Amino acid sequence: IQTLPEGYDTVLGDMGIGLSGGQKQLLAYTRLILAQPKIAILDEATSNLDSYTENLIQENMKKFLTNCTTIIIAHRFSTIQDVERLILIENGKIKAIGSHQEIYESNEYYRKLYDIQNKAFLSPDK
């Protein structure tokens, strides 16, 4: 908000016109924290954020949404790694339910995807 031209007084267009994807996501998280819902559904909610900001958001969500059931839909493993229960869906079917570690150890498909994503992320050549 402080980086917007008029701060809190900045007029925003319909559907957040004038905001970047990341700014829209940060404002959505702010609204979520202020609303303190019982249930929240986050669909690719950090897809437009850099890794540093994503990590800050995830740490703060743990603090602010302690009494909220949160369903997270994500393709980035960093987003879902610390969830209480993970549901792996492949081709529209539930393939595994458990923690990240449990599914990583028992499901080859999940393990391959995780390893590919982390190799690409950690590789200095990329």
pLDDT digits (tens, 9 = 90+) for 71-108: 999 988 888 888 999 999 999 999 999 999 999 999 99
Interstrand relation of 69-73 and 39-43 (parallel, antiparallel or unpaired)? parallel
Query: Domains in the chain: how many in total?
Result: 2
Does 5 fall in a domain?
yes
Where does a domain end: 40, 55, 74?
A: 74
Strands annotated E in 1-126: 39-43, 69-73, 86-90, 93-98
Do 119 and 96 share a structural domain? yes
Do 95 and 60 share a structural domain? no
**Residue-wise pLDDT tens digits, 18-31:** 788 888 888 888 88
Do 58 and 12 share a structural domain? yes
pTM over 0.85? The answer is no
What is the domain range of residue 5? 1-74
